[in-house]
Amino acid sequence: MVDALFRHHNARHATAAEVARTFVPPAFFDELLEPKHVVLVGPRGSGKTTLLKMLTTPAIEAWHHPIAAMAREKTTYTSVYVPSDITWREQFLAMAQQLGDAELATTLARSAFTAHLHRAFVSSVMTRLETYIEPKPHGEPFRRVPFTRAAEESLTRSLANAWGFPRPAPTLPILREMLSERIEEIYFIATQEKLLGTDGRSQRLASNRWVHVHYLHSIPTLIELTNNALGEPQGRWGFLFDELEIAPEWLQRELYASLRSVDQRAIFKLAMAPYMPFGTIVPEAKPIGVQDYTPIPLLGQNVRNTVNFCRAIWDQLISDRGLAALRPEDVLGWSRWSDDPDEPDSKYIEGSKFADQVQELRAKDSSFDRYIERFQAEPSTWAGMTERRRAQVLRKAQPIIYLRNYYLRSGGSKMPPRKSRKAHGLFGGFPTVFTLTDGNPRLIKAVLSSLIDVWIQTQRRVDFSTQGRLLKQAAEIFKSTLSNAVGPQPRIRHFGTGVVPLLECISQFFAVGVYGPGFNPDPRLTFIVDENAPPEVAKAIGVALNLGGVVLVGSNSEELFGDVVGKRFRLCYLIGLLEELPTRLGPEVKLSRLLDGSVQSGDSQVNLQLGLEGLDEE
């Protein structure tokens, strides 16, 4: 069942071969492969780690896929995967607190990170050398280099010397271990400095030359020395910095600013969450999206990309279970408000299923009846409607019509959610199930796996009620992970304190627009974090953004990450599902006004929102 939601699919500590085995390339994968600086932006679970690990030599070797050969051809560099970890960010912060000297703490933390980067570099060099690779890999040998012991010793000697080691290292693994000793040494230097205090500190630190080696400044030298040893003078190296959102702020800033680097042999690919309020960078040091790097957002892709990506994962899940090709349409059916191919071009004619929906809703919802009358949009008139008018009056309103008809009782009040079997039944089918995942691989795999497993057990199409129930179960689990997240604690009226009450408040506001007393064909479904939103609320939105609870809408590449103020968001569709919200965008509302209750989502603003003012009411 969906309890597997947060159990699987974390690529963090998976081997490259494990990652390659289940990797499904998204639409932008070839852009990522390009030997250019890239910033990958996505929340937890959006596949950043998988994507970066797929650029490493062992993963590319192990990958079997129709486009694997193209990927090998494009990967003209050796990747160095550099993970982050929330525990060592805390260790760096703790060091600063204990030393009471922020500058010293940053110097020591940077030195530790330099050793960490050098360890990752040594490991990457080893993935190229035949000495250290299985002779018969499962995949396609890729950029392997024969290397003699003498050549290795020569390389390790020069690297050890460049990194300030007093003695040479005979092999790369020994050099890597010496770097670990150095990380350990930093802890003892910090302990010593805490005990000795500031007297004579500069002299003591000056005597340790290696403490001052900056990871960024060390890169050209290590590339030069290694390229010479490998006989690849122009060899390029891709430094893949993962999960920067949990790295210390100084590291985030330095790496981001380094995207202006012009050393052609060093390519930086940074993976980060969208909420990264790492302070301002002076304009002359600030990289410019597209010009200095390629920004790639992992969520908020267009629906077609999301559906295609889900379909590719679907095919792989089917194949993993040893099943014959099986289309999602066959297992899930078509969603009720999709363009069902069984009903081609016939939605907007009198007597169609959609026309039945309209007539049913008119009978129980007087506000909708007035809407139809106002725009003279009775099904009997549809045949004579212009395309423009049909789009504005009917097509845009279509999901709202389906939802209201499904969830409103006679008399217009909404039936209690999640209490009846019916309450689960509208959110199902293809492609709605795909859309609801927002293209988040973690959610896609968990939700689709559960649905396929139901199909395997029953050997028949999974009914909408079961689909809806599983999706809502996934949504509840997702919500509970948001509840347990560490974050600010704004008090949100009667909803409570924290991130989840904030999202619940927003959801309910939107739900009133969709299901409230006045029919609104285009209710508000997005919000802007305006300047008047309390800072704690803005931070809580940032936390939700990094966990995938809200999704950035329509921003340009410069706005993909950073602070949240001034940006427009929607709820992730799975969270919206808990209030039966439609999977689409809508007009925005200022968050501060939503929270203080000064704007009502059920306000009748049909003309303003739809742009119908130019249409005659006929």
Q: What's the CA gap between 321 and 441, in Å, rounded?
A: 18
From residue 250 to residue 289, the character string flagging contacts with other proteins as x (rule: CB under 8 A) and all else as - is: ----------------------------------------
For the segment 341-380, give every residue that binds other proteins (CB under 8 A): none
The residue written with tokens 């169609």 in the block is 352
| Stretch of 423-431, 494-502, 516-524, 577-585 contacting other proteins, by CB under 8 A | 494-502
State the nearest-atom distance from the C-beta of 393 to other proteins, in Å: 43
State the nearest-atom distance from the C-beta of 491 to other proteins, in Å: 9
State the nearest-atom distance from the C-beta of 116 to other proteins, in Å: 5
DSSP letters along 176-243, please? HHHHHHHHHHHHHHHHHHHHH-STTHHHHHHT-GGGG--HHHHHHHHHHHHHHHHT-TT-EEEEEE--
Selected from 376, 481, 604, 605, the binder of other proteins by CB under 8 A is 481
- The token duo for 342 is 């069984």
In terms of CB distance, is 13 or 136 closer to other proteins?
13
| Strands across the sheet containing 588-590 | 550-552, 568-571, 526-528, 588-590
Q: What are φ and ψ of residue 590, in 5° steps?
A: -70, 135
Q: Does 483 bind other proteins (CB under 8 A)?
A: yes
Q: Does 205 bind other proteins (CB under 8 A)?
A: no
State the nearest-atom distance from the C-beta of 200 to other proteins, in Å: 19
In terms of CB distance, is 317 or 499 closer to other proteins?
499
Give residues with Cβ within 8 angstroms of 67, minimum separation 6.
25, 29, 30
Peptide bond into 168 cis (omega under 30): no
Q: What's the CA gap between 308 and 30, in Å, rounded?
A: 16
State the nearest-atom distance from the C-beta of 127 to other proteins, in Å: 14
Q: Does 485 bind other proteins (CB under 8 A)?
A: yes
In terms of CB distance, is 12 or 388 closer to other proteins?
12
Q: Does 508 bind other proteins (CB under 8 A)?
A: no
In terms of CB distance, is 86 or 102 closer to other proteins?
86
> What is the Cα 373 distance to its own chain's centre?
44
In terms of CB distance, is 120 or 610 closer to other proteins?
120
If you compute the radius of gyration of the chain from its CA atoms, what whole number of angstroms results? 28
Write down how long the chain is. Answer: 618
For the segment 44-83, give every residue that binds other proteins (CB under 8 A): 83
State the nearest-atom distance from the C-beta of 512 to other proteins, in Å: 23
State the nearest-atom distance from the C-beta of 182 to other proteins, in Å: 10
Q: What's the CA gap between 557 and 74, in Å, rounded?
A: 24
Q: Does 94 bind other proteins (CB under 8 A)?
A: yes
Selected from 274, 431, 487, 521, the binder of other proteins by CB under 8 A is 487
Q: Does 211 bind other proteins (CB under 8 A)?
A: no
From residue 5 to residue 44, the character string flagging contacts with other proteins as x (rule: CB under 8 A) and all else as - is: -xx--x-xx-------------------------------
Let me know: does 533 contact 589? Beta carbons within 8 Å.
no
State the nearest-atom distance from the C-beta of 456 to other proteins, in Å: 20
Let me know: does 507 contact 579? Beta carbons within 8 Å.
yes
> What is the Cα 467 distance to its own chain's centre?
24
- The token duo for 372 is 């139809």
Coil vs helix vs strand at 470? helix
From residue 154 to residue 193, the character string flagging contacts with other proteins as x (rule: CB under 8 A) and all else as - is: --------------------------xx-xx--x--xx--
- How many residues of this chain interact with other proteins, rule: CB under 8 A? 45
- The token duo for 559 is 């706005």
Selected from 31, 67, 98, 280, the binder of other proteins by CB under 8 A is 98
Residue of 83, 601, 611, 139 whose CA lies nearest to 397: 611
Q: Does 494 bind other proteins (CB under 8 A)?
A: no
Q: What's the CA gap between 197 and 386, in Å, rounded?
A: 81
Q: Which helix (H) or strand (E) holds 60?
A: helix 57-62
Q: Does 484 bind other proteins (CB under 8 A)?
A: yes
Selected from 90, 263, 350, 558, the binder of other proteins by CB under 8 A is 90
Q: What's the CA gap between 89 and 254, in Å, rounded?
A: 15
Let me know: does 389 contact 615? Beta carbons within 8 Å.
yes
From residue 572 to residue 611, the character string flagging contacts with other proteins as x (rule: CB under 8 A) and all else as - is: ----------------------------------------
Let me know: does 25 contact 66? Beta carbons within 8 Å.
no
Q: Does 497 bind other proteins (CB under 8 A)?
A: yes
Residues forming contacts to other proteins in the complex (CB under 8 A) are 3, 6-7, 10, 12-13, 83, 85-88, 90-91, 93-95, 97-98, 112, 116, 119-120, 180-181, 183-184, 187, 190-191, 194, 477, 480-481, 483-489, 496-500
